[in-house]
C-alpha cells in the first residue's frame, strides 16, 4: 500500500503529510521540553541558593556556535537538493553530521569533568536538572545523527528513484534538527549564564 501525499500537497492542508506530521511531532516536543523548563523554574524559585559559574561558559558557547553552524549546513543540504546539486547536498549533510558529532564529543568532556569531580545528578538540584535537560537534548542529537546517517547511507538511493520525496525527507529532517538547535539556544543561557 502506498502512503498518499508524500510529494504532492493534500488539498485540505496544503501540505504533504510528512511535513504536517513532523510539525505535530515537534509540537509534542515543545510540551516535553516545556515541562522540563517548567520544572527548572519551580526548582530555581524554590531554592534558597542557586549555584552560579558551575559550568564552562566557553565550552557552552563553542557548542552553541557548533549547533548554529550545523543548522546552516542542514538547511543548505536541503537547498542544494532543490538546486539539483547532489554533490553539495552530500557535503552539507556530512558537515551537519560531523558538527553534531563534535557537539557530543564536547559534551562528553564536559560530563566527564563534572562526574570526575563527583558532580553527578545526585550532587544537588542544579546538577540534577542540568543532566536531565542536557541529557535529553543529547539524546535528540543522537536521534538526528541516526536519521542523517541513514540518508547519507542506504536512504540516499531514493534520490535516483523519487527525488522530490527525498528532498521532502531532508526537509523534514532539517525541521527536526533546527528544533534541536532552538532548544539549545534556550538551554545555553538558562543553564550556563543565569
Partner 1 sequence: MHSDPAEIKKSVRSYITVFVMLMVFTVITVAASRFHFAVPMAITVALIIATLKGSMVAGVFMHLLHEKRAIYGALLLTLVFFIVLLFIPLLTILDRVRY
**Are the C-beta atoms of residues 13 and 24 closer than 8 Å to each other?**
no
159 is a contact residue toward partner 1 (CB under 8 A) = no
Helices (H), the chain: 17-46, 57-82, 86-116, 125-152, 158-161, 163-187
> Which of 4, 47, 57, 150 is the binder for partner 1 (CB under 8 A)?
57
25 is a contact residue toward partner 1 (CB under 8 A) = no
Window of 20-28, 108-116, 140-148, 155-163 that interacts with partner 1 by CB under 8 A: 20-28
Kindly give, in sequence order, each residue whose CB lies less than 8 Å from that of residue 39, ignoring residues fewer than 6 positions away.
129, 132
Residues 126/131/136/139 CA torsion (nearest 10 deg) = 160
> Smallest gap, in angstroms, from Cβ of residue 76 to partner 1?
7
15 is a contact residue toward partner 1 (CB under 8 A) = yes
> What is the grid cell recorded at 174?
532539517
> What is the grid cell recorded at 173?
529532517
Q: For residue 52, report the phi and psi dihedrals to the nearest 5 degrees.
A: -130, 140
42 is a contact residue toward partner 1 (CB under 8 A) = yes
In the complex with partner 1, which residue's Cβ is closer, 19 or 140? 19
Size of the site for partner 1 (CB under 8 A): 46
Give the Cβ contact number of residue 168 at 10 Å: 19
3 is a contact residue toward partner 1 (CB under 8 A) = no
> Which of 11, 14, 87, 116 is the binder for partner 1 (CB under 8 A)?
14
Q: In the complex, which residues of this chain contact partner 1 (CB under 8 A)?
A: 13-15, 19-20, 23-24, 27, 30-31, 34-35, 37-38, 41-42, 45-46, 57, 61, 64-65, 68-69, 71-72, 74-76, 79, 82-84, 174-175, 178-179, 181-182, 185-186, 188-190, 193-194
Amino acid at each position: 500500500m502506498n502512503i498518499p501525499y508524500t510529494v504532492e500537497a493534500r488539498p485540505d492542508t496544503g501540505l504533504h503529510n510528512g511535513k504536517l506530521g513532523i510539525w505535530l511531532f515537534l509540537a509534542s516536543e515543545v510540551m516535553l521540553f516545556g515541562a522540563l523548563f517548567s520544572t527548572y523554574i519551580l526548582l530555581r524559585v524554590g531554592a534558597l541558593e542557586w549555584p552560579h559559574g558551575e559550568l564552562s561558559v566557553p565550552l557552552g558557547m563553542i557548542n552553541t556556535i557548533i549547533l548554529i553552524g550545523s543548522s546552516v549546513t542542514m538547511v543548505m543540504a536541503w537547498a542544494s537538493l532543490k538546486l539539483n546539486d547532489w554533490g553539495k547536498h552530500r557535503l552539507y549533510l556530512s558537515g551537519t553530521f560531523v558538527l553534531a558529532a563534535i557537539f557530543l564529543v564536547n559534551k562528553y568532556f564536559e560530563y566527564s569533568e563534572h562526574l570526575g569531580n563527583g558532580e553527578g545528578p545526585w550532587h544537588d538540584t542544579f546538577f540534577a536538572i542540568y543532566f536531565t535537560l542536557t541529557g535529553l537534548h543529547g539524546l535528540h542529537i543522537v536521534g538526528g545523527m541516526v536519521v542523517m546517517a541513514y540518508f547519507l547511507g542506504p536512504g540516499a538511493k531514493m534520490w535516483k528513484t523519487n527525488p522530490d520525496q527525498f528532498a521532502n525527507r531532508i526537509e523534514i529532517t532539517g525541521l527536526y534538527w533546527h528544533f534541536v538547535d532552538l532548544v539549545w539556544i534556550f538551554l545555553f543561557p538558562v543553564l550556563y549564564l543565569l
